[in-house]
Structure 1
Amino acid sequence: MAQVINLRQARKARDRQAAQAQAAANRARFGRTKAEKAADLAREEQARRQLDGHRLDHDGKEQGQD
């Protein structure tokens, strides 16, 4: 006798496998490693600190005027 299967469960299992395969492809295609993300964050933070360090504090006033 043939094995009885629930078609709804089989369809859901098939869809889950397809979604997992798509997710794996997306991770490989678009994903960045944790180290890459940390390096980018550190680079952006360093650039921001450097820019803030070169900022002039005039507050809209001319030099020599109080």
Structure 2
Amino acid sequence: MEGAPNDGTSADPAMTPIERQMQVIATSIQDLARETSRQNQELWQAIRKGPPTPHDNNQPPPRGGNRVE
């Protein structure tokens, strides 16, 4: 029934191409929302845990990106 007009009176559950596309988009948005929530949970856990402790607390943080070897 691809391409058949859908005037809304038919009981046929077949979706139009636009309805299929909208369904795919809706599913993608739901997947993206789930993934974003998962990543946010990981991020907040890392924030609560705090930064890793450096091996030598007496050393100042390096300045700039220029290293002389």
The reply to whether TM is greater than 0.5 is no
Question: Which of 1 and 2 has higher RCO (CA within 8 Å, sep 6+)?
Answer: 2
Structure with the greater alpha carbon radius of gyration: 1
TM-score, normalised to structure 1's length?
0.43
Q: Which has the higher helix share?
A: 1
